[in-house]
Structure 1
Amino acid sequence: MRSSNTNPFKDQPYSFAKKFVPYTLCAFLPVALIYLYFDPFSLSPTDQLYWNNRVVVHSSPPPPPISLEERKKTGVRTSCDYSNGKWDPTNLGPLYNGTTCGTIKHGQNCMVFGRPDKDYLYWKWTPKECKLPRFDPKTFLQLLENKHIAFVGDSLARNQLESLLCLVATASSPNLFYTDGEGKFRKWNFPSHNMNISIYWSPFLVRGIEKTLENNFNTLYLDSVDERWASDMDHIDILVLSVGHWYLHPAYYHYGDSVLGCHYCQNCTEIGFYDVFGKALNTTFQTVIERRGSDPGGSEISVVLTTFSPAHFEGEWDQFGACSKIKPYDETEKKLEGMDLEMRKVELERVNFAKLKAEKFGNIRFEALDVTKLALLRPDGHPGPYMNPFPFANGIADRVPNDCVHWCLPGAIDTWNEILLDVIKRWESRVGR
C-alpha cells in the first residue's frame, strides 16, 4: 500500500504557465442563487457544526439576476440543466474507436473485445433546455491551452479521463510523461497547446487505507484530504472529481481523534455512508478553498464534481445476462430512486454549499457535472461480459463475469465530456461581463 503522504507527481516536470482569468463576484452570484433551489443548507447537525466556524456572512444583498435579453446582448450563454433530457438515436458515430486510442483500459474496450452489437454507439443525449454540441477537440485544446486538467477519484474518474484523452487525441497527439507503472497515477502533455491532463487515484478523496485480502474493510480519515493529489493543487487549473462506489464497501470512519462508527463491519456502531460521504466532500472542498482562496488575486481553479454513476446489475455479477440491455431506457421507464438518488443529493448539496463558501473569492469555482440521471438511462453502455475478450468463443455458460459499472469506450461516457466542454465554454463566455 502506497503511503498516503507520498505524492507520485512530486518533482515531475510542469512546463505550462498559469493564466489569470477574471472572474467577478457579480458573475458568480446569480448562478449560486439558481442552485439554492436544491436547499444546500439541509445538512446534518454535525455538518452544520463543522461549517459554522467558517461561514462568511454578507450583509449586502446580492445583485439582481441578469435577464435573458441582457445576456443575449452581452453574448453570455444561459445556463442549462443538462440532467433533464433524453437519449435520441443518431447517425453520427463516435469520434474514435477501440484501436485509434492507446489509452483505453482493456476491460472497457468493448469493440476490440468482441461486443457484436453497435447500437450503443449511436445515441445522443438531448437536454430539454439547451443544445449540447458534439465534442470539438480543437475547441477543448484552445480553451485549455497552457492549463492542467486533473481527474481525481476512483475507476470511474479513470473511465472519464480515458474518454477525454481519446476524444482530444483525434486532433492532437498526447505524450505520456509520467506513470507509476500501475496506471493509477499518470500525466500526459499535448505539445500543440502545452496542455496537461492527469489522473490521480484517490477513491475517497480524503486520506484512507484501502481494504486488503486480510482486512476486508477500508479505513477513512474524514478530516484529512488525500495529499497524493492535494499537494499538487497549486499546479491544477481544472479539478474533476469522481467518487462514490468505494463508499459502499465496509469501512471504519475516523474524524480527528474520534471513531465515528462504521459501515457493514463488526464490533462497531453502524452509521451508514451517506453522511460520511458528505463529510468527505466537505473536507475536500474546504481544503481547496483554504489553499487556493488565501490569495484572492491568485490563479483561478475550477472544481467539477461528476455525480454518482449508477450500476445496472440485474441479478448476480457473474450470472449470464447481468446487464444485457442493448438500448437506453425511455425517461418514463426508469426513475432515479434509492441509493442513486441519495448519493446524487449529497453531492449536489455539498457543491452548492461550497459555492456559497467560495463567494468571497474571485478565483475559485465549483460546479456539479450532474450525469446521474442520464447515466441511469443507459443500461446498454456497460462492457457486461465483454470486460474480457470474446467471452462466448467457446459457447455460452451460465456463469460469466460482468462489468455493469464502468462504461464502454467509445460509448455513453463520452457524453460526460461533451457536457464538461460545454460547461467550460459557458464559463469562458461569462469572463469580462
Structure 2
Amino acid sequence: MKMGNCSPNPLKEKPQFLFRKVLPKSFYAVLPIALFLLYFYYSSHLTRPPAGEFPNNTPVFIPSSVSSPPRHKGDRKFNETPCDYTNGKWVPDTLDPLYNDTSCGTIKEGRNCRSHGRPDVGYLYWRWKPRKCELPRFNPSAFLAFLGNKHLAFVGDSMARNQLESLLCMLASFASPTLLYSNGDDSEFRRWHFPSHNVNISVYWSPFLVKGIEKHEGYNYNQLYMDFVDERWASDLGLIDMVVLSIGHWYLHPAVYFEGDRVLGCHFCPSLNHTEIGFYGVFRKAFRTALEATIQRKGANGNDIDVVVTTFSPHHFEGEWDKAGACPKILPYEEAERVLEGMDEEMRRSGVEEVEEAKLSAKQHRGKIRIAALDVTKLAMLRPDGHPGPYMHRFPFSNGVQDRVQNDCVHWCLPGPIDTWNEIMMDIMKGWRDQSKDGG
C-alpha cells in the first residue's frame, strides 16, 4: 500500500508552527513600526527649543503635552526628614499646567503671556526637582481643605500679587471664587471668597511692609519709617489666620529711612544731605518690624496665625530694560550655570535669618504661631525663561521688531514658574497640619 505524503501538517502542529514560523516574522515586521512610534512620542512631547534666545519675532512651536499620571506616589510622613527645596534643578515635565490664559479671570494683563502673543510654550513644561526628595503636584481641593474656614492674606509688593494670582488660578481649576471687594489704584486691595470651604483670600499692597510714603510728583524717593508697621494690612491682623509676606524690589529704589523722628540715612539720594547706608540693613529691619508686630498682636492674646515669608525673587534683565532682547532666554539655567551670590543672596539671607529669629520670639507667647521661609530665591534665579519680557504688552512685534520695547524681566508669566512657589507653600502647610495631628 502506497503511503501518502508524511510531511507535518501545520494545522495539526499549530503551536510549534506559530513559534517557529509566524511569530518571528511578525516580530521583525512590527519592530520598525514600534520604534518609529516610540521616536515620534519622545520627539513630540519631550523636546524643547534649542538653547539661546528668541529669534526676533519668529514663532517657536512646541507640541502641547498630553495628560500624564500623577508624577509622585504618596506623601512624605511627618517624621521623615523635611524636604530641602532650596537645592535642586528644573527638569522637563509632560503635565499641563492646572490652568491656562483663558481659564482664569484674575491674571493681571501684563502677566498673561500667551494671550499677549508669546510664541513658545516650552517654559510651561518644567518642574522643580529637589535633590533628595519630590515636590508633590499642587492639589487645589486639598489646599482649600487645609484652609477651611480661614482667611489667607498676601501682603507686599507686586511679587506678592503675582504669587496670589497664581494661587487663585490654580484653586479656580477646582472651585470658582467670588470677588468680595476691590479697592485702591490698580485693585491694590482685594478679597475673594470660596464658598465651598468658607475660605477668604486677600491681597494687601504694602511694598515695604513698614509705614512708607511712595515717591510721587515732586519727590523722586520713597520715605520709610522703619519702626512702624504698615497699618493698611496690620490693622486687619485680627481677621487673618495665615499671612504671606513678600517684598524686595521696591527696596532698590531711592529712599530716605527714618526711625522715630531721626533720619537713619538714605539709599541713592545724592541731592540730599543724608548718609548713604544702602538698603540691606533696612530691608532686614522691615521683616523684623512686620514679624514682631504680627507676633505681638496675635500671640500676646493667645491667638494663632501661620506666617510665610517668601524670599527675594531675582530679576533677569540683560542690558537695558527698554531694549529688544532684555530677557531673551527660552530655557532654564542648569544648576551649575549660575551661583547664588551678591545682592540676590544677601536679600535671601535677610528673610531667612529674620524668620529664624521670629520663631524664637514666637515661643514666648501663648498663641500658636508657626513661621516658615518660602525659600525660592535659587529656583527663581534658574528660570530666566519665565518672565513676560516684551509680552507684558499685547503682540509687541505685530508691526515688526522695534529697537525700543518695554520689558518685564521681574514678574512671572501665568501659568509659569511662580506656580511652584505655591506648590512648596502647600507642602509647608501639610507639614504644619501633620505636626498638629502628632500633637506638635
TM-score by length of 2: 0.80
Instruction: Give the superposition deviation at 1:432.
Output: 3.4
Aligned counterpart in structure 2 of residue 156 of structure 1, from 156, 159, 174: 159
State the secondary structure of the residue aligned to 2:363: helix
- Counterpart in 2 of 1:250? 254
Summarize the alignment of residues 44-193 of structure 1 with structure 2, pairs less than 5 Å apart. 76-180=79-183, 182-193=186-197
Cα distance in 2 between the residues matched to 1:432 and 1:97: 36
Cα distance in 1 between the residues matched to 2:198 and 2:133: 31
Are 2:181 and 2:192, in contact at CA under 8 Å, matched by a contact in 1? yes
Cα distance in 2 between the residues matched to 1:416 and 1:301: 20
- Counterpart in 1 of 2:59? none
State the secondary structure of the residue aligned to 1:360: coil
- Counterpart in 2 of 1:290? 296
Cα distance in 1 between the residues matched to 2:268 and 2:360: 34
- Counterpart in 1 of 2:267? 263
Instruction: Give the superposition deviation at 1:214.
Output: 1.9
Give the letter for the 2:434 counterpart: S
Are 1:154 and 1:243, in contact at CA under 8 Å, matched by a contact in 2? yes
Give the letter for the 1:367 counterpart: A
Summarize the alignment of residues 29-428 of structure 1 with structure 2, pairs less than 5 Å apart. 76-180=79-183, 182-265=186-269, 266-296=272-302, 299-361=303-365, 362-428=367-433
Instruction: Give the superposition deviation at 1:77.
Output: 4.7
Instruction: Give the superposition deviation at 1:161.
Output: 0.2
Worse-matched range after superposition: 373-382 or 73-82: 73-82
Give the letter for the 1:127 counterpart: P
Cα distance in 2 between the residues matched to 1:245 and 1:204: 9
Instruction: Give the superposition deviation at 1:129.
Output: 2.5
Instruction: Give the superposition deviation at 1:137.
Output: 0.3
Instruction: Give the superposition deviation at 1:139.
Output: 0.3
Gaps of 5+ in 1: 1-71
Cα distance in 1 between the residues matched to 2:80 and 2:305: 21
Cα distance in 1 between the residues matched to 2:78 and 2:388: 42
State the secondary structure of the residue aligned to 1:240: strand
Cα distance in 1 between the residues matched to 2:355 and 2:112: 32
- Counterpart in 2 of 1:29? none
Cα distance in 2 between the residues matched to 1:91 and 1:74: 27
Give the letter for the 1:213 counterpart: E
Cα distance in 2 between the residues matched to 1:213 and 1:111: 35
Give the letter for the 2:391 counterpart: Y
Runs of 4 or more, structure 1, over 6 Å off, are: none
Are 2:211 and 2:229, in contact at CA under 8 Å, matched by a contact in 1? yes
Q: Compute the RMSD of aligned alpha carbons.
A: 1.4
Aligned-residue identity in percent: 63
Cα distance in 2 between the residues matched to 1:425 and 1:147: 15
- Counterpart in 1 of 2:4? none
Instruction: Give the superposition deviation at 1:348.
Output: 1.0
Instruction: Give the superposition deviation at 1:130.
Output: 1.7
Instruction: Give the superposition deviation at 1:73.
Output: 12
Tell me the alpha carbon deviations over residues 209-262 of structure 1, each in whole angstroms, 9 at most, x when there is no partner. Answer: 000132110000000000000000011111001001101100000001211010
State the secondary structure of the residue aligned to 1:241: strand
Tell me the alpha carbon deviations over residues 148-196 of structure 1, each in whole angstroms, 9 at most, x when there is no partner. Answer: 1100000000000000000000000100011015310000000010000
Tell me the alpha carbon deviations over residues 256-303 of structure 1, each in whole angstroms, 9 at most, x when there is no partner. Answer: 12110100013211001000111111111111111111123xx32011
Worse-matched range after superposition: 122-131 or 153-162: 122-131
Are 1:222 and 1:276, in contact at CA under 8 Å, matched by a contact in 2? yes
Are 2:78 and 2:431, in contact at CA under 8 Å, matched by a contact in 1? no
Cα distance in 2 between the residues matched to 1:107 and 1:76: 42
Are 1:77 and 1:429, in contact at CA under 8 Å, matched by a contact in 2? no
Cα distance in 2 between the residues matched to 1:74 and 1:404: 38
Are 2:90 and 2:332, in contact at CA under 8 Å, matched by a contact in 1? yes
- Counterpart in 1 of 2:10? none
Are 2:152 and 2:241, in contact at CA under 8 Å, matched by a contact in 1? yes
Tell me the alpha carbon deviations over residues 22-55 of structure 1, each in whole angstroms, 9 at most, x when there is no partner. Answer: xxxxxxxxxxxxxxxxxxxxxxxxxxxxxxxxxx
State the secondary structure of the residue aligned to 1:322: coil
- Counterpart in 2 of 1:42? none
Worse-matched range after superposition: 356-365 or 325-334: 356-365
State the secondary structure of the residue aligned to 1:117: coil
Instruction: Give the superposition deviation at 1:365.
Output: 1.2
- Change over 3 Å in CA distance of 1:77–1:190 after alignment to 2: farther
Are 1:314 and 1:322, in contact at CA under 8 Å, matched by a contact in 2? yes
Cα distance in 1 between the residues matched to 2:348 and 2:392: 27
Cα distance in 2 between the residues matched to 1:270 and 1:351: 27
Instruction: Give the superposition deviation at 1:307.
Output: 0.2
